[in-house]
Amino acid sequence: MGCAFDVVVVGGGHAGAEAAAAAARCGARTLLLTHRADRLGEMSCNPAVGGVGKGHLVREVDALDGLMGRAADAAGIHFKLLNRSKGPAVRGPRAQADRALYRTAIQDLLRATPNLTIQEGAAEGLERARDGGIAAVLTGEGERIGCGALVVTAGTFLRGEIHLGPERLPAGRHGDPASVGLALALAALDLPVCRLKTGTPPRLDGRTIDWAGIDAQPGDDPPEPLSWMTERITNPQVVCGITATTPETHALIRASLDRAPIYTGQIQGAGPRYCPSIEDKVVRFAERDRHQIFLEPEGIDDPTVYPNGISTSLPRDVQEAVIASIPGLERARILRHGYAIEYDHLDPRALRPSLEVRSVPRLFLAGQVNGTTGYEEAAAQGLLAGVNAAHRASGGTEPRVLLRTEAYAGVLVDDLVTQGVTEPYRMLTARAEHRLRLRADNAGLRLTERGLAWGCVGPERAARHRAFAAAIRDALARARAETATPAALAAAGLPVNQDGVPRTVLEVMALPAAGAPALEQAFPWLRDLAPGVRAQLETEALYAPYLARQAAEFAALEREERLRIPEDVDFAAIAGLSTEMRQRLSAARPATLGAAGRVPGVTPAALVALAGHLRRGASPARAGVA
């Protein structure tokens, strides 16, 4: 009997939306099953997309024709390129969004996607096929939905529990029920389940904030879109504000720690290291007497303000006293108190690099269920899981995988499936060892052709990408080939050593004192380049010396990354591996030699022994490049 759908996606958050849209773009008959269709694309926490590291992920999702960048541009009300004064590799595009407009944009994009059906309902059970894989989803309404592959993007809903002081409430997020049946169904698969915690700050009434006493933070003018498909931003832009906690704030918090769930033992799950609660900051950084708070309006016609930096689960009365102790917020009214939420997640080391569960064929997991935090991390996983689920449902066996050398999304997935998590995982530029090459500005040049091969990139983006890529290739080829003498360059106002050695255009562009007027006098064709092409050329010139030195290292690393480890390899039978190394590798089951090198505790000597075994004992088909 045939399946009702090729792919079913459970959950309509950022991971679910991208997974469903990606699977459908790949041609799979796809169902998106969600509790409430009107909350598809909900920004459950902060009203922003992107940032340092996270902005790279948004651009990569966009390069693969995902939704997040386009939705953020349609809803964006405050844009900022973070780290603008630093090199292009670590600049982070960020957009603050109108929550209602973002929801609308995601819902419009989903409803316009061919092959995609949206259905309200709760997944309560899973039906196994004879091979142990997933055959169907069982809903709380008694419906059986057959599927070729299933993507679970449960977010914080799996046995989710809200903590607000001593108050405890089963919930997936504010206003939505927890998912207990699905949590039990996943537990019945004998998968490794752990608990994590995240949180959110109180929401404030912007009409009661003293904006005159707060430092104003305007956005960039003009705003830079997150999606390459966006011509310009048309929404009116808002101004944000910055304030900070005070010694009085910290004294109030310290006096209330005996009522803070994260210190009373009420919460067991580990919280995010890089976005801790305000009570955690006060304890961990006791030497500091202030912590910055960004006041972010949540919409053009919405008075709600998100105070970014004071996530908390303190009791209601303490939250009110804390807010009143902060400059500019003395009379601010709380519209909704902050809270922490504790939830189940599955150890991502149980997944293949395709995000398919090793022990349950055709079951894919994406988003916070894998131990990550953040919309952007969820979206990247969702897109990759959707592409792989569609491929698997059609009978494909070769996984759709991005390497660490190719994308931040590759770093994200490799970190998860190789190392697992002990706290909610957040993307940082420091996690990417190849960040000079993996820039936000060149995501399309890196990944769109890959998306075309996978079938997840539509014709409009394909045509624009190929025209742009051709223009870049032509400009780079000319800039590398065309030269000028030191005398000619000096005559144009470009200071170079008069050593008689001609310089290429790319070499001249890399000079610190090479301003645009002098460059264009020496090489007039530069002024005719489109702005985007010119910017890419300048960035390439800036990084060319560094990238050239790394080229050989990258080539060697990629060969190592791609040396595949068969799934059934017996690590205990490999000569030269200690008992500890065998245990660590057997537990992690890395897919490649490069991934094995990132298993915590695995030594270089163990990698040499493993590589030797693969090259000696495995056939080219089994130990070749992935």
Q: Among 101, 125, 19, which residue's Cα sits nearest to residue 67?
A: 19
Domain boundaries, the chain: 203-342, 460-548, 563-622
The token pair that represents 333 in the structure block = 């009214």
pLDDT of residue 554: 61
Q: Does domain 460-548 have CATH number 1.10.1760?
A: no
| Residue pLDDT, tens place only, 242-251 | 999 999 999 9
pTM exceeds 0.75? yes
Whether 193 and 420 have beta carbons less than 8 Å apart is answered as no
Instruction: Kindly tell me if the per-residue pLDDT of 318 is higher than 70.
Output: yes
Q: Between 512 and 113, where is the model more confident? A: 113
Instruction: Kindly tell me if the per-residue pLDDT of 353 is higher than 50.
Output: yes
Q: Among 424, 427, 431, 415, which residue's Cα sits nearest to residue 371?
A: 424
| Residue pLDDT, tens place only, 30-85 | 999 999 999 999 999 999 999 999 999 999 999 999 999 999 999 999 999 999 98
Binding residues: 11-16, 271-285
pLDDT of residue 432: 85
Binding residues for NAD(+): 271-285
pLDDT of residue 149: 98
Q: How confident is the model at residue 617 (pLDDT cuts 50, 70, 90)?
A: low
The reply to whether domains 460-548 and 563-622 share a CATH topology is no
Burial (CB count within 10 angstroms: exposed 0-12, middle 13-18, buried 19+), residue 189: middle
- When mean pLDDT is compared across 51-65, 525-539, 574-588, the lowest value belongs to 574-588
Percent of residues, the chain, with pLDDT higher than 70: 96
Which stretch of DSSP H or E encloses residue 239? none
Q: In the CATH hierarchy, which top-level class contains the domain 563-622?
A: mainly alpha
| Residue pLDDT, tens place only, 190-248 | 999 999 999 999 999 999 999 998 999 999 999 999 999 999 999 999 999 999 999 99
Region 487-509: what's the mean pLDDT?
Answer: 91
| Residue pLDDT, tens place only, 403-440 | 988 999 999 999 999 889 888 999 988 888 788 889 99
Region 471-498: what's the mean pLDDT?
Answer: 92
| Residue pLDDT, tens place only, 164-195 | 999 999 988 888 888 899 999 999 999 999 99
Whether 139 and 182 have beta carbons less than 8 Å apart is answered as no
Binding residues for FAD: 11-16
pLDDT of residue 621: 37
Question: What fold is seen in the domain 203-342?
Answer: Elongation Factor Tu (Ef-tu); domain 3 (2.40.30)
Whether 591 and 574 have beta carbons less than 8 Å apart is answered as no
Question: How does DSSP assign 30-99, residue by residue?
Answer: EEEEES-GGGTT---S-SEEE-TTHHHHHHHHHHTT-SHHHHHHHHEEEEEEETTTS-GGG-EEEEEE-H
pLDDT of residue 558: 64
